[in-house]
Amino acid sequence: MKKLVTAPYGLHGSLTVPGDKSISHRAVMLGSISKGKTVIHHFLAGDDCLSTLAAFNAMGVKSERDGETVIIYGNGIDALKEPAQPLDMGNSGTTTRLLMGILAGRDFETRLFGDASLQKRPMKRVSEPLSHFLGARIELTDNGTLPATIYGQKLHGTHYQMQVASAQVKSALIFAALQADTPSTIIEKLPTRNHTEIMLNQFGANIETAADQKTIRVMPKPELTGQTVEVPGDISSAAFFLTAGAIVANSRIRLERVNLNPTRTGIITVLQKMGADLQIEALPTDGEPLGNITIATSQLKPIEIEAEDIPAVIDELPLVALLAACAAGTSSIRGAEELRVKETDRIQTVVAELRKLGVEVEELTDGMIIKGRSQWAINDDQLDSYGDHRIGMMDAIAALKADRPLQLANADAVSVSYPGFFQDLERLLGGDLA
């Protein structure tokens, strides 16, 4: 049980948030299937990305890690070897789903398993299109979950219209399409994060995205060469402090070198629409867009979030609910049924935690309706992450506004995406005015 603190004097100071989780995963994967040396700076050494690194090590890829710097010695995709043991995906949906796309076209068999939460998450969304459209062979449990066995096959190019708005499914399809005999076209339901496409092109592939931002053309069998990757700060981690800065009285925080890829900046759009006091300073970069964001205590207006808004803010929706709980009026989140299949059912867990804080919130099948107010009447001091990193960190930010210290069960879960979260929070609580 971790004691959560309040913030009567606000939060102040500057912070460089950890490296982006999605980009760190992809840097390890691309380094491992390319030829030559890949150097990754500001790698996120969270549990999920370490699961990805360990999986490739088990397939014969040599790497070295010194804190946030990782060097991968790649020998190309054909040099991956059958692992001696089943691969442990830990808590990471991204590792599992993207690996399925890579392994579908290898000439060996692999078994994947995960922790109790991951073994409940849906995997047919990846195995079915890979099997029916590209010729893969993947076995799941009768419930469509892990453990999975992937029997590597010769793959064929395809034209596939996606049924779910998911960057993980899209990326798995792209990885399989790279190994096919002819080009493929993948059409997204809604545009989702495009880190796979951007990074693959940096490593030498030919992936074209049409002007609609949804139609992706993949040319197979590229020569991929190792690169240097500067991982920008994770906007999904910055979002906890953007929220804290907006809702906690007397705060002013600057988050430095945050990734501003437009497929990820939904939380900034939300904060702007809610009337937050926020400034962005774009920074020069050779890679993904990046900048410093400053936020100060704000009077927030309510917001309505709909299906097409969701992909760019998917992992920040617990925080959008928290912002809404502090806004002057009623907010709604709809079209967010994907939240039900994350590390926890995040509609259920967010509703449960907000109700403990005394927030009036109605659960919908695809989202929630939240009545905001300036002061909550807390009715349960025991918050719980339920083993979900993003719920635990949302709880810690919410607790800053409480009238007394609260408790958090299963606080360790934060190490999945932000191992230094509580230390960074402490720094901002004791920080000088930025």
Ligand X SMILES: O=C(O)C1=C[C@@H](OP(=O)(O)O)[C@@H](O)[C@H](O)C1
- Per CB under 6 A, contacts with ligand X among 131-150 are none
Q: Phi and psi (nearest 5°) for 228?
A: -100, 130
Q: Strand 62-66 and strand 367-371: pairing?
A: unpaired
Binding flag, residue 184, ligand X (CB under 6 A): no
Binding flag, residue 234, ligand PEP (CB under 6 A): no
Q: Phi and psi (nearest 5°) for 320?
A: -60, -40
How distant is the alpha carbon of residue 140 from its chain centre?
Answer: 24
Catalytic residue among 48, 315, 384, 395: 315
Nearer Cβ to ligand X (28/327): 28
> Are 207 and 163 contacting, i.e. CB atoms less than 8 angstroms apart?
no
Binding flag, residue 401, ligand PEP (CB under 6 A): no
> Are 300 and 275 contacting, i.e. CB atoms less than 8 angstroms apart?
yes
Smallest distance from ligand PEP to CB 282, Å: 25
Residue with tokens 């709909």: 306
> Are 243 and 390 contacting, i.e. CB atoms less than 8 angstroms apart?
no
d(CA 185, CA 173): 10
Three-state secondary structure string covering 310-341 = CHHHHHHHHHHHHHHHCCCCEEEECCCHHHHH
Among 32, 91, 94, 385, binds ligand X (CB under 6 A): 94
298 is in an annotated binding site: no
The tokens describing 281, both together, are: 């300073």
Give the CA dihedral 169, 386, 46, 305, nearest 10 degrees: 50
Residues 6+ apart with CB under 8 A from 259: 20, 23, 232, 233, 234, 235, 288, 289, 290
- Per CB under 6 A, contacts with ligand PEP among 1-40 are none
Binding flag, residue 92, ligand PEP (CB under 6 A): yes
Binding flag, residue 33, ligand X (CB under 6 A): no
184 is in an annotated binding site: no
Nearer Cβ to ligand PEP (261/417): 417
Smallest distance from ligand X to CB 27, Å: 12
Binding flag, residue 52, ligand PEP (CB under 6 A): no
Smallest distance from ligand PEP to CB 315, Å: 4
- Per CB under 6 A, contacts with ligand X among 1-30 are 22
Q: Which of ligand PEP, ligand X, none binds 417 (CB below 5-8 Å, type-dependent)? A: ligand PEP
Smallest distance from ligand PEP to CB 48, Å: 6
Nearer Cβ to ligand X (268/399): 268
Binding flag, residue 193, ligand PEP (CB under 6 A): no
**Per CB under 6 A, which region of 36-44, 87-95, 285-293, 419-427 contacts ligand PEP?**
87-95
Has 315 been annotated as catalytic?
yes
Binding flag, residue 314, ligand X (CB under 6 A): yes
- Residues contributing to the site for ligand X (CB under 6 A): 22, 94, 166-168, 171, 193, 314-315, 338
List, as residue ranges, the binding site. Answer: 21-22, 26, 93, 121, 166, 168, 315, 342, 346, 390
What is the binding site for ligand PEP (CB under 6 A)?
48, 92-94, 315, 342-343, 390, 417
Instruction: Please identify every residue annotated as catalytic.
Output: 315
